[in-house]
Amino acid sequence: MSVIAVVGLATMGMNLARNLARNGFGVSIYNRTTSRVDDFMKQYGAEGAFTPAHTPQDLVAQLDKPRRILMMVKAGPPVDETIDHLAPHLEAGDILIDGGNSYFLDTVRRGKALEARGLRFIGTGVSGGEEGALLGPSIMPGGDRDAYQQVEPMLTMISAHVDGDPCCTYIGPGGAGHYVKMVHNGIEYADIQLIAEAYDLLTHALNLGAEDLSRIFSEWNKGDLESYLIQITSEVLAKRDRATGRPLVDVIVDEAEQKGTGKWASQSALDLGIPVTAITEAVFARSLSALKADRQLAARTLIGPNGGGKAPAPASLVDDVRSALYASKIVAYAQGFEEMQAASNENGWDLQLGAIARIWRGGCIIRARFLNRITDAYAAEGGIKNLLLVPYFRDAIASTQDAWRRVIGVAVERGIPVPAFSSSLAYYDAYRRERLPANLVQGLRDYFGAHTYRRIDRAGSFHTRWAQDGEEVPVR
């Protein structure tokens, strides 16, 4: 008998099954295209206590009760199809777990539908790519809490560990786990975009090649920026193409693809009214990159700056870009955490942001030294309004902001696009302003649409008959 099943044997499913088996759990494996089950057994069957299943009936017969089934199938309709395929064979109390990148509202819907059938559902984020799945991912489970207790020993054991702590914790009810994974991915998009902007800026402002940049990123990885993404950036930039001998990155087409999680994070932030500018700029930057044909035409038509200002000193620009990257990254994370707090309030999830920062320290794509600082901040004080206000981050930005501003100046002068750097700085400058020009926005709205405004010196709402007699009238 097996304690758990993995259904869906693409890379993530296979590696999670192997991870579970390596940790001593008996694992049943099943895939609707059953040849994959046989292939898996041939390739990895000897690694652990695997039991192959060729039908859902076989599968349920092999599992201890309550049955625990981890579905690792593509997000979207395949999850519903897999549920429909398995659920008729399950009994009350059995547990289905969706470990893909599902949209959180789909998870809410599936949880309710399964609950109505007496089944229990967990929607969990799993981050770390292929290697993480095999050696220890970061796991963000949400949904039925009692059901989670039944899989907690397995999920915590197979997750990454940092300082002895598992990178897995119960996130919250309903779609909370997938929501948090969605924000993780949004931050991943922002992180990647910021790295790409740093690469672009140094390439064009200093005429550096990929290998020079690889060394710079590798150096940066020794300081505050130390992270998985900075480390692999250095590796990607160092790689030479076997066919042409050129840096591989130089022969890769510059059109970024996306599967939707970053877009969902932005859409949800728009619904919540939380400005996640770095994530959203990163999504738009991918969209703009995909308009290759339009860009090719525009490149021949539109005119850039003349000259581009005084050439910056290479060493100081490199240092400045590192500072700009760090400051922008702080803003991106502060925004992502604000989004999670707002979603938690909206949905009554009681998200523990400190615990989320803690399980992102290892295993996941955005793992970084920096997450220790966020974890410490939440451990030191509750009720953090915005990470930018935490003394450590406040001081980090205070000491890097001049460099951040210089970098954006260089980019603007030279016509190098840095949407995530500059929108993060604009957010910082707007957030720290007590008075913004929204007073004029309100005045204009009131002028053309009688939308009313509030005054700084009196309670209530008012309308001015701007184009008529100029009188101000209180509005009820």
Q: At which residue do the structure tokens 């819907």 appear? A: 109
What does the CA dihedral 308, 310, 314, 319 come to, rounded to 10 degrees?
-90
Query: Which residue's C-beta sits nearest to ligand 6PG?
Result: 127
Could you tell me which residues come within 8 angstroms of residue 318 by beta carbon, excluding any fewer than 6 positions away?
Answer: 202, 206, 216
DSSP secondary-structure letter at 96?
E
Q: Cα–Cα distance between 379 and 373 in angstroms, integer?
A: 10
Cα-flanking dihedrals φ and ψ of residue 463, to 5°?
A: -135, 135
Taking the complex as a whole, the smallest distance from the CB of residue 116 to ligand 6PG amounts, in Å, to: 29
With contacts defined by CB under 6 A, name the span among 235-243, 257-265, 343-351, 355-363 that binds ligand 6PG: 257-265
With contacts defined by CB under 6 A, name the span among 2-10, 113-121, 196-204, 259-267 that binds ligand 6PG: 259-267
- Contacts to ligand 6PG from residues 357-396, by CB under 6 A: 364-365
Residue closer to ligand 6PG, measured from CB, 127 or 233: 127
Residue closer to ligand 6PG, measured from CB, 128 or 362: 128
DSSP string, 207-247: ---HHHHHHHHHHHTTTTT-BHHHHHHHHHHHPBPTTTSSB
Name the catalytic one among 42, 74, 130, 188: 188
73, 85 Cβ separation under 8 angstroms: no
Angle at 27 between CA 19 and CA 68, to 5 degrees: 105
Query: Interface mask (CB under 6 A) for ligand 6PG, residues 59-98, using x and -?
Result: ----------------------------------------
DSSP secondary-structure letter at 311?
P
Q: Cα–Cα distance between 427 and 256 in angstroms, integer?
A: 25
Taking the complex as a whole, the smallest distance from the CB of residue 184 to ligand 6PG amounts, in Å, to: 6
With contacts defined by CB under 6 A, name the span among 17-25, 105-113, 227-235, 256-264 that binds ligand 6PG: 256-264
Residue closer to ligand 6PG, measured from CB, 258 or 452: 258
Instruction: Give catalytic status of residue 181 as yes or no.
Output: yes
- Contacts to ligand 6PG from residues 177-236, by CB under 6 A: 185, 188
What does the CA dihedral 359, 363, 366, 370 come to, rounded to 10 degrees?
60
- Contacts to ligand 6PG from residues 114-153, by CB under 6 A: 127-129
Residue closer to ligand 6PG, measured from CB, 132 or 172: 132
- Residue 406 CB neighbours (<10 A): 17
Instruction: Give catalytic status of residue 188 as yes or no.
Output: yes
Name the catalytic one among 181, 281, 329, 339: 181
261 binds ligand 6PG (CB under 6 A): yes
Catalogue the active-site residues: 181, 188
Positions touching ligand 6PG (CB under 6 A) are: 101, 127-129, 185, 188, 257-259, 261-262, 364-365
